[in-house]
Structure 1
Amino acid sequence: MRGFILTLALLFALPTFADDKQALQQLLDQFLAGAHLKTQHQRFWTDDLIYTSSSGTRFGKADILAGFKDDTPAEAPDSVYRGEDVDIRLLGDVAVVAFTLVGVTGDSEQRYFNTGTFIKRDGEWRAMAWQATKAQAKDVAGK
């Protein structure tokens, strides 16, 4: 009987996991598409964010938001971002999202390995810890 109940519980939980993965993927895609907008950062990060940049500095959400004047850029963003090889791992109301961030500015392309820890609060996923590492040329070429 316990096995049957466990099986039923897992069957009903599967759509929730799929929904959460889809929600996280959508959140990431929307954030990267609008990374030049302050409102995207306000929505994406928790207030208690710990961000470790690829240059080795650590800061929080307030520092990120302070870098924006407002949410109406005068012109198109200088860089366009996308995520590749996205790996989402769910652990209940916590998720780890690892991906390759690709930033394109003009003819130049930069790649970073990013790993974010997300927490689901009040039904919304937000990133509470972030680590960015610049990919070395050999990593970019897949060697």
Structure 2
Amino acid sequence: MRALTLAFIIALSSAPAIAGDREDLRNLLNDFLEGAAGDAKVHSRFWADDLVYTSSSGKRFGKEVIMRGLQESQAQPVTSSYSAEDVDIRLYGDSAVVVFKLVGEDRAGEAPVVSHYFNTGTFVKRDGEWRAVAWQATKIPEDE
């Protein structure tokens, strides 16, 4: 009976931490998507230094390549915006998997072009901060 009571107390005390981590990850994702179109500071905070990113075109690279691309595109106007739908956050201690549908809107042309991607991010909590250590983006075909 004591073991059951202790397990119940531990479960109750960890519930706020789990809810807080989910909220932290959701806020981190939303802040990232709001600044993803060109804010190097937002990208630097979001990605871990040891990131492995697999793009929707099948190319694999790390944080350095992302940051270099942002520096090269800083002179161009921001014409894209991003949002997340169907966000699912799964916690595993100091690791988490975040899956969602990314909606991108590019307004560079005469009419906006909307694209959809399935994204899966693996996060690790280091020094109290969540960082994406692995990322996979898959373009959703337009006919779906």
Partner residue in 2 for 1:117: 122
- Output the CA distance in 1 between the equivalents of 2:51 and 2:101: 20
- Output the CA distance in 1 between the equivalents of 2:120 and 2:48: 15
- Output the CA distance in 1 between the equivalents of 2:9 and 2:105: 46
Amino acid in structure 2 at the alignment position of 1:65: M
- Give the 5 Å matches for 1:2-21: 2-21=3-22
- Output the CA distance in 1 between the equivalents of 2:143 and 2:87: 20
Pick one of 58, 61, 82 that aligns with 1:59.
61
Partner residue in 1 for 2:95: 94
Residues 1:46 and 2:48 are matched in the alignment: yes
- Give the 5 Å matches for 1:62-81: 62-69=64-71, 73=74, 77-81=78-82
Seen in structure 2, the aligned counterparts of structure 1 residues 25 and 7 have a Cα distance that, compared at 3 Å, is: same
Q: What secondary structure sits across from 1:54 in the alignment? A: coil
Partner residue in 1 for 2:135: 130
Gaps of 5+ in 2: none
Q: Return the offset for 1:40.
A: 0.8
Normalising by structure 2, we get a TM-score of 0.91
The question of whether the paired residues in 2 share the 8 Å contact of 1:119 and 1:125 is answered with: yes
The question of whether the paired residues in 2 share the 8 Å contact of 1:38 and 1:70 is answered with: no
Figure out how many residues of one structure are paired with residues of the other and give that number: 138
Q: Return the offset for 1:29.
A: 0.2
Gaps of 5+ in 1: none
